[in-house]
Chains A and B, each alone.
Chain A
Amino acid sequence: MPDVHTLVNEFLNQLKKRKIEGSQATAKQAAELLRSVISQQRLPQTHQATALISAVRAVGEKLIAANPVELAVGNIVRRVLHIIREEDLSLATAAIDGLELSAVSDDEDDVERDDYPVLSAAAVAAAARSTLRPPSLQTLLEDTPISAAIPHTSSSGGDSEGKSRSVDKSSRGRKLKHDVIEAVNELIQDISTCYEQIAEQAVEHIHQNEVILTLGSSKTVLEFLCAAKEKKRSFKVFVAEGAPRYQGHLLAKELAARGLQTTVITDSAVFAMISRVNMVIVGAHAVMANGGVIAPVGLNMVALAAQRHAVPFVVLAGSHKLCPLYPHNPEVLLNELRSPSELLDFGEFSDCMDSASGGSLHVVNPTFDYVPPKLVSLFITDTGGHNPSYMYRLIADYYSADDLVVKRRPATTS
């Protein structure tokens, strides 16, 4: 399939050369790419899910390696893998239900899930239900049907459809692919609308005459603030400019254009201003499983200042930013050092950079900060507000434990 291959290569190239910026754009592109990978993957008669999973993994592995710092790519790969597993399971359970009704046993279904030893069909289904769809706190609280509680799985209508067709194997193969693509489409949809869902909650958090502080620029924050403004809330926004890329300037411009009362401050003035601030609202690059945040550089300082003055520190993050990994040495390993030219003018300093002429000027320009979970007061995702300590649970809903390490395994074939 040269077409997919070229698409993959193109995306890899873009990732490698750091041509895509912003986790939303990256996530969306990754999801679209994986969708075409899935749609062009030829499926064998048996082990369809395994084939799909290994195909997605093969691509995913490359994508993650291309830019390990852009965690959204890994998240999406894992989400898609999870979707495949879910869809396969729901088809399998549907099939088993159907088979149980007609009292015909079929071995195929047992082998379908290679993770489990050969058991009776019913046992497989039961085991699968309990392991793959653990009763999350949310589902328990909301008491919604399982398929609805987990986003992006097929609807119950699909289940019943599957039931009726379950005997026909080839049509089931198409069904799996179809369902997975449907679900991935939903995921893409979700990524592109995550702003709106987050912004809907704005009125609950921003109150009249409050002062909000933010740093750098984030589309999510912009939409969030504007949503509150549209609901006739009047409040002030302090924007820390976010050196060295000064994206805060862009945000301030945009906010002012939309009629918000905006004040730009330098990053170093944050501590001086924080006592007047009611709430800090910032975007994130990624949210780790422990509730720690990988965020634009400078945010750790803001978080510490907020903690010192007991100002709530609120992080907005779309679900594609939720990463199932735990950070290890995040300041270094999950960071990207960008060109010093963002800080200094090469021409002006060129004479003090060579050891030859005595100078030894070094510049460190990290892109991200790691904000530990204890400094975060609240996460607002598209599903609502959450405590940092709850993030791991939320994340567990989106990912399968099997996919945490996306490494190609030799495909188990019969």
Chain B
Amino acid sequence: MKTIHINKLLAIIEVKGKALFSKNFIIMPIFSLGMTYIMKLAYGSISKEIDMTGYYLSMGVLMNVCMTGVYCVAACLAEEKEKNTLRTLMTSSVNGLEFFLGSLIPVVLLMVIVNVLCVFIAGFSMTITEWLCYVAITTISSIIGAVTGMIFGIFAKNQMSAGTMTTPVLILFMLIPMFSHLNEIIETISNYLFTGVIMNFINHVTTKVTLTNPLELGVLFLEFILTVILFLVLYKKNGFEAN
């Protein structure tokens, strides 16, 4: 088991946190917040009778979990490789676990904040229990998204290849839950995706039925475990650099 040195972890968190606010990456959470607001403006003026706030919120959260989580983490890791700073860090006594946590903590924190802000922007109302469930589900989903991004980052040589590799996956993670109401097959697939679980949870809050069911919790838990295991296997085989 690797030791975590707090001084190293904090230093990485500080630098990675600042990197997230660079123009290459901050655009993603801003886009998620902006999209929620634009959809509220657009749909709010069209339909006053139906409560669409859950839909705006779902869009914003899905974008955030996928684009900030998967893309930003993959691109951040790819950038470290492209600029040769990853190897420099690894030969400056930073171990893999410290780098992994230092990279994930700031991005997950940012995603949690954006997920909460999306609720206020969408104007979605929740009870305290619903809030707690919402934060828990979206946080676990954010971690799954970020670890997935880390997996792609292992194989991406540079930021451009990170973009190319993650785009099809982002589209699938986002579009399948969005179009799940169109037919049963898409709905079934969506039910087995962590992004689908977020969408279903927001629907449950809107329709005031049970917040979650065992299948959804199972999917979230299983995908969390599977993503972490997949990352560990790939990391053990390739380190952070597959090439």
Chain A complexes with chain B: no
- Which residues of B are in contact with A by a Cβ distance under 8 Å? none
Residues of chain A at the chain B interface (Cβ within 8 Å) = none
